[in-house]
Every structure is written in C-alpha cells, then in structure tokens.
Structure 1
Amino acid sequence: MQSAAPVNSSPTIGDLFRVSLRIGCLSFGGPAGQIALMHREIVEERCWVDEDQFLHALNLCHLLPGPEAQQLAIWIGWKLHGARGGLLAGSLFVIPGALVMLALSVLYSAATGLAWFAAIFLGIKAAVLAIVVQALLRVAGRALDTRFKLGIAVAAFAALFVLALPFPLVLLLAAIAGAVAAARRPDLLKLKPVAPLDANLPRPWGATLRAVLVGAAAWAAPLALILVTLGPDHVLWQIGLFFSKLAVVTFGGAYAVLAYMAQQAVDHYAWLGAGEMADGLGLAETTPGPLIMVTQFVGYLAGLRAAAPFSPLVGGLLGALLTTWVTFVPCFMWIFALAPWMERLERAPRLKGALAGITAAVVGVIANLSVWFAVHVLFARTVTVSTVALPDPASLDWRAAIIAVAAAVLVFRFKWNVIRVLAVCAAAGLGLGAI
C-alpha cells in the first residue's frame, strides 16, 4: 500500500453516506477485495484516515469475531463521525448485499423442483468446491509459516473430521495453545516483539460499558420478542439463538464457520439439505458484501419451511431478517466497545498469540469444510464409519466431478474470478443436466 497524503478528517455525514453506499454496492471479491476497495476510497483518494490508522484498525478487526471488512467499515465511520458514522458506514456495507441475497433466496425457493434450475445449481455446487479449495490454499499459505502452526491446523482438522468435536471447543483449544506459546516460546508463532505499553494510556471503561449494554440490548431485543410471543419451540427462536452463538465464534472469515453452520443446519436442525447449503454459498459468492451473508439464505429457508403461524413467504422473510440482525449487530458492539482500546489491544502478546493459534486452526477448519463439500457435492450417498461420513464410490455424480475439475482448472490455471467461474459452471451444469 502506498503512503497516503495528509489526512483530511472533516468529511460531512453526507460525504460518508455516499462513499459508504458506493463501497457497499461494489464490495465483491471477499474480504481482501473489500478491504482494498476501502483503502483506495478512504485512504488513497479522500485521505480521510491515514495509513497507520487504517492498518491498526484492520489489526483490531482481525482480533474480533465476525466479518473483518464490515468491522473495518464500522470503525471508519466511528473514527469520522462517532457512533452515528459507525452505524451508517457499517449498515451500508451490509444492506446492498443483504437485499440482493434476499431476492436470490426468494427466487431460489420459488424455482426449486424445476429440472433446468437443478441443472444450473449442479454446476454452481461443483464450482463452489474449487472456490473453497482455493480459499484453503490461500489461507494456509498466509497462516502456516511455522511447524507449530501447521501442527495446530492438522490437529484442528482431525478434531473436527475424525473426532467430531464441537467447533467452538476447537477454537478455544487453539486460542489457549497460541496464548501459552506466546508467553513461553513466541518464536513458535513468529510473533513480532511489541513496544512497551504507555502507562498513561486512558482506560475508557465508561464508553465500553455503554456500548456493551446498548449493543447487547439491541442484539437480544428480537429474540426476547420471539420468546414471549412464539415460545422457545418456534423455528424463529432456534434461528436467532443458533446464529447468535455463531456470531461469537466467527473468527477467521466465513469459510471458517461454514462447515460448522452447514452441519448444524443440515444434520441437527434439518432446515435444508447439503446440496442446498452449497447452492447458498454459490449465491453468496455472487453478491456484494461479506460472504457470511449465506446465513441469510439458511434463515430464509428455515423460516419458509416452518412458517406457522405465518405464511411461508412471511416466515421466510422473518427468518432472513432475524438471521441478518443477530449476525451483524454484534459487529457494531465489538467495534464501539473496543475501538477506544485499540493501542492497548495491539500490545497484548498473549492476545496476539491466541489469535495466531485461532488463525492456524482456521486452516484445518476450512480443510474440513472442503472435505464436507466434496463428499456431499460429488456423491449421492455416504456411509458413516464411527463419526466419519465417507462417500459411497458407487454414487459418484460424474457430471459434478467433470465440472469440479473444469472449475479447478479455471481457478488455478487461468486465475478466473469467482463470478466468471460460477457463470461458466452454471452453463455447464445446464448442458450436462440434459444428459
């Protein structure tokens, strides 16, 4: 990144609105592309935030659960116009993609059962498999720079795939391993030394407490309303509670929690099928905003299929809105509560070690997701041996396998972008679906 010009820290709220809306509408390409877009718009072109501030804020966002790009947008708004600016910038980062994803979810449910539609999504599912493997290799190349981190990644994969341990427990154990290593052997994590903390740095407890109280109340309000009016057995309560838990453990990007979310939504709650989960990820890849927006697709289908006392459409819309609320509202709370502590957090070695441990474990988590998708996309049946779901070789879908190989060639050999790959594979699925 180039050094920015002197900071112009006086944009109006209208300026912030226009730029935030532009970013929200153009934020394709995952967190790397979204952060690069924000850097160009905010740091390079308008000089509203300087380079060091931007990078320090990005480091803070990596420490927090949730989509780091949205949290960075919230921080930019907070830095420029306080809580009002944070609410504006963070909301506009999500709303365009949420509206697109909701429209696609409605169209998806309406067209389910049509042969041509199923053929298109045969190609999309196969393409998603190649895209997830690409994400795995990218994260692994960036995160596993020591043997200790590689060991954490392998252990995380084994814990999930072989032992079927709970995803939050795997992250907790990885965080503990990283924190212990940071305290005793920081070389195992390649942690850079931190400057001593200034004893005169303020401790803004009041601002943090207010942010936590207000944020937690906003987060819990719809859940409380559902509990009082519909009871704890209604699907909306289950949706709100599950995705609230997910919001707390979403470290390392959307891919890190997708396997856990998919397994719970498919196997435990039976809100949708494994193939539909892959379809939802394919749709999320084509929309602006965070990839974790796929949660809205899951919430929509869950509400649609257990809608009483509402109509199916209303139940689906309520499920989608509730999922979006409990997924993204916590991001505002994290930033408003912790941004004033940024400098202190950056100089906490054990916290950095815990984050490094989680980041390494995320590689194993995404590897588990890759295997899960491969088994369910390429094979029609599985055989469970102990806790491991193995594919039945006789049930291989040769059409999906051909498209997956072609998608891998387009992604790794020709470096095509996600939307282009999805479009070509959808067309291939439509063609092979007729056979």
Structure 2
Amino acid sequence: MSDSNQSNEPASYTLWQLMLYFLRLGALGFGGPVALVGFMHRDLVEERKWISEADYKEGLALAQIAPGPLAAQLAIYLGFVHHRILGATVAGFAFVLPSFLMVVGLGMAYVSYGGLPWMQAVFYGVGAAVLGIMVIGAHKLSTKNIGKDRLLWAIFGVLAIVTIVTQSEIAWLFIGSGILVWLIRCKPKFGNASCAVAMPTQLPQVLPVVADPSLVLQIGLFFAKAGTFVFGSGLAIVPFLYGGVVTEHHWLNDRQFVDAVAVAMITPGPVVITTGFIGYLIAGLQGASIAAAATFFPCYLITIIAAPHFKKWGKHPSVIAFVDGITAAAIGAIAGSVVVIAQRSITDIPTAILAVGATALLWKFRKIPEPFVVLGAALIGLAIYPLLHP
C-alpha cells in the first residue's frame, strides 16, 4: 500500500467522529445511491476535508466496478482510507444501521397492521409509484453505463427478455456477460502475460443452496448470493430478489414483494436495505438480521480485500471490460423486472395512471426527491383506495 494516498496522509478525525457522521447520513440520507455518494463528497472532501479528492475518486471507482451497493461500498472504502479494516467496519455498520432499524420497525407494523385498510391503501398507491422510479432508474443507468455500445445493448436486451420470460434472474448469465465483453474487447491470448493475467482472481463464490437446510441458513445463503450480484444501483437487486423470494422459495407473494420495494424507497440509506424488511416478513427479527448481514457482507469483504491493490488493477482494460458486461446485464435485468412487477402491481386504471404519472413526473423534474413521489402516491392511495374497495 506504499503507493497509495491512504498511507501518506494522517487522519484529521477520530473513529468516533467517522461513526457519528455515517450514522447521521444513514438516518437522513434520502435520494438513492447517486445522492448519497454526492453527500459524502460534499461533507467529507469539500467541507470537513477528512478525505482527499484522490482517495474519494479511487473509492468511487472501486464502488462502481466491484459488486456491491454503490453508496454502502463507498462508505466502507472511505472508512478504510485512514482507519483500515476497523474504520471500514465502523463506517459500513454505522451507515446501514439506521435504515435497518427503520425497515424492521416498518416490518413489525406491516405484520401487525398489514390487514388494515389504511395500510393496504398506502401500499396500493406506493406500489404503482415504485414502477415509475424503477423505469427512470433503469433509464439513467443505461444512459450512463451503456451509452452507444452495441454489444452492451445486445446484452441488455437479452437479459431483459430472459428476465421477463423466466420471471427470475439467472446469475450465471451475469458472469457470462462479463466474460463475453472481456473476450471481445481484449482478445486475450491464453498462455502469455497479456490481457488475461488481469482477470480478477478473487471473485466471490456464489454460495450453493444446501439441500433441506434450516430456514435461517437458506435465508443467509440466498441473500449472500444476492449481495454478490448487486452492481451500482440498489435497484439491481430487485429482479434477483424477486426470482428467489417469490418465484423460487415462495417466501413472499407478489403484493408483499412490491410493498418491500416500496419500503426501500421511503426510507433513507441504501436501497438494498429492503432485504432487512423481506427477512423480517420471512422469519422475524432473526430473519431480518441474517438477510441484511448476508447482503452487505460480500461488498464489505470485496472492499477490504481490493482496497490495498486497487491502484494497480482497477484501471486495467480487462477488469473494466468484465465489469461493463456484468453492469449491462444487471441493467437489462432491472428493465425486465419492471415488466414482471408491473403485471402484478397495475391492477386497475388508477394504478396504471399512478405508474405513468410517477414516471412522467420524475422524467420532467429530474431533481425531485424520490421519497416525495412515494409519499405523494401514498396520500393518493389513502384517498382513492377506500372509494374503490368500500
């Protein structure tokens, strides 16, 4: 690590101060991953000057190309800069904890009062609005990450169609997409030290599903696998979760799953924390804790392993090509999942209008905070649901 800024600049802040900052950001940070990483730059680089511009850019680059939710991974990296593994652990835990407690509280209310008309009315409106958020999210991701690359668009299209047809996400297609782009762009010559040598050698292993395990073990294995295939936006985990939680394991029904995505949209912190809500619905507090821990552990592990070596390998063409392929696949899966979820969330004309309206609103007013859209949809749901379901 001698070539890294991480080891040359002493910390101007304590571990305690770092923890308090990320607790506050996790409790009040609305707006999704892009907004959250922007807050970190504003607060930690520009205003407090705890982190150098170079270290921030390196952390952001790693968070963008490695599997893991963008904002949480950047928080872990920034904790690592001056306080190493302990700092990474404290920053990641503090960032996730507030939103985890919120989704567990919402899970308790959902289980206790989910049958009450007012809660049904809220999620009637919110479930439709979430579709609009996902549509805009997929558009932003494709514009930023795919651009005009025909190969990446082809991968996007294939994954979107596969997701719609199978109503699930096939993990090996992600890895296959990365390998395909690597082969086409780099044209590696196996057997000599060319582009091939820089293929990541520490890719996390996908944990297999054990035959007839306990429910808690099943939850841990599934969500660890889900966390391994989240690239960039937390929305990338939605199609993967749907395929496992609803289609494969039948832990939740369609309505409950859409409500879980809605919960992620109305709480601050990382979108991926919806896994805590899902875990609570499956197996109570224990399920919530296992699901959330298993989701974030892969990105934590990848960050602390990669951070000391990232300067050397992060900009290598083979690594970039591999990640570009996986990212295009993930965005295609998000687009496909919009169609799958829409088939179940749009149940009548009002929900169709809400979904289209939320999409149009976010398209027209790009800077409007997504939680405002969700809260507005909740109020509309409270107003019209009783009229339609007297």
TM-score bucket of the superposed structures, by smaller chain: 0.7 to 0.9
2:5 aligned residue: none
2:95 aligned residue: 93
* Distance in structure 2 (CA, Å) of the matches to 1:166 and 1:25: 31
- RMSD of aligned residue pairs (Cα, Å): 2.6
* Distance in structure 2 (CA, Å) of the matches to 1:20 and 1:282: 23
1:394 aligned residue: none
What TM-score do the two structures reach when normalised by structure 2?
0.87
| CA displacement, residues 319-350 of structure 1 (integer Å, 9 cap, x when unaligned) | 00111111112222111111110112223211
Tell whether the 8 Å contact from 2:224 to 2:297 is kept in structure 1 after alignment: no
Verify: 1:339 aligned to 2:307, yes or no.
yes
Tell whether the 8 Å contact from 2:19 to 2:91 is kept in structure 1 after alignment: yes
Name the aligned partner's letter for residue 407 of structure 1. Answer: A
* Distance in structure 1 (CA, Å) of the matches to 2:381 and 2:22: 37
* Distance in structure 1 (CA, Å) of the matches to 2:41 and 2:10: 14
SS of corresponding position for 2:68: coil
2:4 aligned residue: none
* Distance in structure 1 (CA, Å) of the matches to 2:158 and 2:354: 31
Q: Which moved more, 1:325-334 or 1:88-97?
A: 325-334
1:408 aligned residue: 359
Tell whether the 8 Å contact from 1:140 to 1:363 is kept in structure 2 after alignment: yes
Tell whether the 8 Å contact from 2:163 to 2:337 is kept in structure 1 after alignment: no
1:247 aligned residue: 227
* Distance in structure 1 (CA, Å) of the matches to 2:355 and 2:311: 45
Give how far 1:29 is off. Answer: 1.0
Given candidates 266, 275, 281, the residue that maps to 2:261 is 281
Q: 1:292 to 1:347 in 2, by over 3 A?
A: same
Give how far 1:73 is off. Answer: 1.0
Matches within 5 A, 1:106-125: 106-125=108-127
Name the aligned partner's letter for residue 284 of structure 1. Answer: A
SS of corresponding position for 1:162: helix
> How many residues matched?
365
Tell whether the 8 Å contact from 2:169 to 2:243 is kept in structure 1 after alignment: no
What TM-score do the two structures reach when normalised by structure 1?
0.78
2:3 aligned residue: none
Name the aligned partner's letter for residue 27 of structure 1. Answer: G
Verify: 1:156 aligned to 2:164, yes or no.
no
Give how far 1:166 is off. Answer: 4.7
Structure 1's unaligned 5+ residue stretches are 1-6, 186-195, 198-204, 221-226, 304-315, 380-396
Tell whether the 8 Å contact from 2:167 to 2:340 is kept in structure 1 after alignment: no
1:169 aligned residue: 172
Tell whether the 8 Å contact from 1:8 to 1:49 is kept in structure 2 after alignment: no
Tell whether the 8 Å contact from 1:171 to 1:361 is kept in structure 2 after alignment: yes
Matches within 5 A, 1:66-77: 66-77=68-79
Name the aligned partner's letter for residue 229 of structure 2. Answer: V
Verify: 1:140 aligned to 2:142, yes or no.
yes
Structure 2's unaligned 5+ residue stretches are 1-8, 189-193, 196-200
Give how far 1:430 is off. Answer: 1.5
Given candidates 324, 339, 363, the residue that maps to 2:292 is 324
SS of corresponding position for 2:356: helix
* Distance in structure 1 (CA, Å) of the matches to 2:227 and 2:173: 16
Q: 1:252 to 1:10 in 2, by over 3 A?
A: closer
2:22 aligned residue: 20
Q: 1:166 to 1:282 in 2, by over 3 A?
A: closer
Tell whether the 8 Å contact from 1:252 to 1:362 is kept in structure 2 after alignment: no
Name the aligned partner's letter for residue 382 of structure 2. Answer: L
Verify: 1:423 aligned to 2:368, yes or no.
no
Give how far 1:266 is off. Answer: 1.1
Q: 1:41 to 1:434 in 2, by over 3 A?
A: same
Verify: 1:302 aligned to 2:282, yes or no.
yes
Give how far 1:41 is off. Answer: 1.2
Give how far 1:272 is off. Answer: 1.1
Where do 4+ consecutive residues of structure 1 move more than 6 Å?
none
Given candidates 364, 367, 375, the residue that maps to 2:343 is 375
| CA displacement, residues 153-192 of structure 1 (integer Å, 9 cap, x when unaligned) | 112212332366752122012101221133049xxxxxxx
* Distance in structure 2 (CA, Å) of the matches to 1:164 and 1:266: 10
Give how far 1:251 is off. Answer: 2.2
Tell whether the 8 Å contact from 2:168 to 2:244 is kept in structure 1 after alignment: no
Give how far 1:287 is off. Answer: 1.3
Q: Which moved more, 1:145-154 or 1:134-143?
A: 145-154
2:236 aligned residue: 256
| CA displacement, residues 282-318 of structure 1 (integer Å, 9 cap, x when unaligned) | 1111112110111111111111xxxxxxxxxxxx011
Larger Rg: 1 or 2? 1
Name the aligned partner's letter for residue 239 of structure 1. Answer: I
Name the aligned partner's letter for residue 171 of structure 1. Answer: F
Give how far 1:234 is off. Answer: 2.7
* Distance in structure 2 (CA, Å) of the matches to 1:424 and 1:288: 16
* Distance in structure 2 (CA, Å) of the matches to 1:284 and 1:12: 31
Q: Percent identity?
A: 31
* Distance in structure 2 (CA, Å) of the matches to 1:255 and 1:423: 19
SS of corresponding position for 1:434: helix
Name the aligned partner's letter for residue 54 of structure 2. Answer: D
Name the aligned partner's letter for residue 269 of structure 2. Answer: G
* Distance in structure 2 (CA, Å) of the matches to 1:329 and 1:48: 25
Give how far 1:399 is off. Answer: 2.3
